[in-house]
């Protein structure tokens, strides 16, 4: 019965036009829930809420639990269970999204254990920061999705199943060429591979987190790179419609979110430009 349910769930997600990486993550999460003690086959609203409460009491952070709720609600929608579980309130994470340019440079210059890991991880970081693509889109990339001659990559199935092309800077193309010389051929198509085959998004997240920890940004995650790129393009004068297209936003209002200043930017800007209270008033 469980395997039949899994097959139905997989087909349902495909009809929603979700990316292969999203589907893989959702299927893996079912097994993860089972290991944690939740019977996803016979799940109810009450049993799910009891499970989340028990995990909260064990010290699991709300941010992590919200990720679990997202997956549980996705399963609820598939099974026709209502109402959905409410998310824990989000803290203002603008401070944790802001990355100074000098930190990004440090991240891109990092070296790893050997030449294979260094070139692969560096290529991953260059693609994330220079294109702003989602981590699910990155792990779904195939070698043929990179057009070295014209200088762009193609996201075959972005959010909502949409296809788009994203320009690649010459520096990123150079790093990708160097990476392909040492790429592990454990998957005939995947751009980014490990010794086990196509790389998983969890591995990419781990690489990004480690990179952040090594340069003093321990909270770093792939979506922060997406924020950095969108904000960088907007601040450098790239049209908002162009940025929306690059980011794969169907609604320009989503792109406008990236124009919202971070707490650190507000503090720095005020210190420089608030000449009255910061410079003229003497206490």
Residues annotated as catalytic (active site), given as ranges: 134, 159, 223, 226, 249, 258
Q: What is the CA radius of gyration of the chain?
A: 21
Q: Helical H runs in the chain?
A: 2-15, 20-36, 45-57, 62-79, 94-97, 101-108, 115-131, 135-139, 170-180, 201-214, 222-235, 240-247, 252-256, 263-273, 275
How many CB atoms are located within 10 Å of the residue 225 CB? 27
Distance, CA of 237 to CA of 233 (rounded, Å): 7
DSSP string across 58-115: TT--HHHHHHHHHHHHHHHHHHT--SPPPPPPPP--HHHH---HHHHHHHHT---SSH
Considering only CA atoms, which of 48, 37, 40 is closest in space to residue 86?
48
**CA atoms lying within 13 Å on the CB side of residue 134:** 19
Q: Are strands 193-194 and 164-167 parallel, antiparallel or unpaired?
A: unpaired
Contacts of 184 by beta carbon, 8 Å cutoff, 6+ apart: 116, 120, 193, 194, 195
Distance, CA of 195 to CA of 206 (rounded, Å): 16
With contact defined as beta carbons under 8 Å apart, do 141 and 82 qualify? no
């Amino acid at each position: 019965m469980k395997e039949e349910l899994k097959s139905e769930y997989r087909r349902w997600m495909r009809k929603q036009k979700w990316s292969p990486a999203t589907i893989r993550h959702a299927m893996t999460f079912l097994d993860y829930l089972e290991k944690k003690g939740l019977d996803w086959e016979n799940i109810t609203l009450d049993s799910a809420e009891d499970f989340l409460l028990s995990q909260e009491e064990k010290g699991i952070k709300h941010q992590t639990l919200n990720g679990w709720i997202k997956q549980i609600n996705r399963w609820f929608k598939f099974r026709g269970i209502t109402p959905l579980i409410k998310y824990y309130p989000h803290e203002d994470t603008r401070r944790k999204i802001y990355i100074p340019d000098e930190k990004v440079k440090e991240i891109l210059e990092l070296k790893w254990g050997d030449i294979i890991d260094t070139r692969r991880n560096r290529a991953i970081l260059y693609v994330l920061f220079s294109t702003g693509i989602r981590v699910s889109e990155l792990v779904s990339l195939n070698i043929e999705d990179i057009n070295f001659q014209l200088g762009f990559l193609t996201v075959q199935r972005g959010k909502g199943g949409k296809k788009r092309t994203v320009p690649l800077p010459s520096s990123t193309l150079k790093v990708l060429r160097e990476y392909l010389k040492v790429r592990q051929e454990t998957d005939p198509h995947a751009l980014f591979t490990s010794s086990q085959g196509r790389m998983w998004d969890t591995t990419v997240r781990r690489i990004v987190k480690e990179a952040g920890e090594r340069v003093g940004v321990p909270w770093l995650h792939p979506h922060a790179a997406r924020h950095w790129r969108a904000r960088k393009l907007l601040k450098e004068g790239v049209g908002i419609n162009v940025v929306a297209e690059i980011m794969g936003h169907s609604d320009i209002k989503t792109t406008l979110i990236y124009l919202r200043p971070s707490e650190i930017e507000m503090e720095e800007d005020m210190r420089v430009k608030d000449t009255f209270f910061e410079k003229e008033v003497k206490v």
